[in-house]
Amino acid sequence: MIIDIDQKAGFCFGVTNAITKAEAEIAKSGSLLCLGEMVHNQEETQRLSDLGMKTISYEDFGVTHNATVLFRAHGEPPSTYQTAVNNHINVIDATCPIVLRLHNLIYENTLKYPDAQTVIFGKKDHAEVVGLVGQVRGGNVVVVSSANEISKIDFTKTILLYSQTTMSYESYESLATEIDLCIKQINPEGKLLKFNTICSSVKSRVANLHDYVRRFDAVLFVAGANSSNGKYLFSACQKANPRTYYISQISGITPEMLNGVERLGITGATSTPKWLLQSVGEAALLVNSGSKS
């Protein structure tokens, strides 16, 4: 069996930057607190924990004082920064630059269009979305995860439409079309201002994956069980190659996945470390050889 590791897979810049900052601080001081899960990948989280990083909850953060805490790539609302000031916390800010630009855009537009309603396409409780919602002055904001939820929107107002950076571009465009139709029916004088806020690397990743997975008899897609980006990209892979299997760790590989496979591709989400993809490749060889013995 020939195994190919997707060289375009692995951490996006934001996650890589956050991990680099975490490793540097741990090397200097021996330990580090991280607010929330650094990345939705259990294997990488465990590696960082073994190095000396401890993940804390927002409840823990509220009662933490005089400590150094890393803010991960997802970004934080203003209230989190205020808590850090109040509690004399030294912040290592690893917010992804793309997310930070989106924070600034939302903030500036709520000042520019004070009577508009902000609509964010994303997962309501996702850390990035919580940070985006926090940038809206006046609180006139709704979060929708699909076109089925557009009844939440007030179509009598100008609508400012954004997206969580890792959402499906096609779904975002579909949502925008549905909103535009509703405006024409309910408020013909209304406006929809749509902002292109999906990360360009996420959009191009789908096209690259379509081309990649078609080259193989089967594909192992590696991502954390709770990775939103992973589930989205896996769905795209499976459409292009039905023999694409989602695994979160090496133990998820089964002989059945490799049955009759001569060429195996291994890829993953933007939250999947390269070292884990390599380990999965090595494990797949062992499983395959074991099934033939």
Instruction: Report residue 280 as tokens.
Output: 């999965």
Q: Which of 76, 128, 173, 256 is catalytic?
A: 128
- Specify burial of residue 53 (Cβ count, 10 A radius: 0-12, 13-18, 19+): buried
Tens of pLDDT along the chain (293 residues)? 999 999 888 778 888 999 999 999 999 999 999 999 998 888 899 999 999 999 999 999 999 999 999 999 999 999 999 999 999 999 999 999 999 999 999 999 999 999 999 999 999 889 999 999 999 988 899 999 998 999 999 999 999 999 999 888 889 999 999 999 999 999 888 899 999 999 887 778 888 899 999 999 999 999 988 787 888 899 999 999 999 999 998 999 999 999 999 999 999 988 889 999 999 999 999 998 876 65
Domains and CATH numbers, the chain: 2-9+200-292 (3.40.1010.20), 13-95 (3.40.50.11270), 98-194 (3.40.1010.20)
The count of C-alpha atoms lying within 13 angstroms of the C-alpha of 2, restricted to the half-sphere facing its C-beta, is: 7
**CA distances for 66 relative to 5, 82, 103, 249, 293, angstroms:** 44, 14, 27, 37, 58
Q: Is 61 helix (H, G, I), strand (E, B) or coil?
A: helix
Q: Is 38 helix (H, G, I), strand (E, B) or coil?
A: coil
User: Considering only CA atoms, which of 194, 191, 183 is closest in space to residue 150?
Assistant: 183
Find the DSSP H helices in the chain. 13-29, 42-51, 58-62, 78-86, 97-112, 127-133, 169-186, 200-213, 228-240, 274-292
For the question of residue 59 being annotated catalytic, the response is no
Instruction: Report residue 44 as tokens.
Output: 């990488």
H-run or E-run covering 222: strand 218-222
Contacts for 203 with CB less than 8 Å, ≥ 6 apart: 169
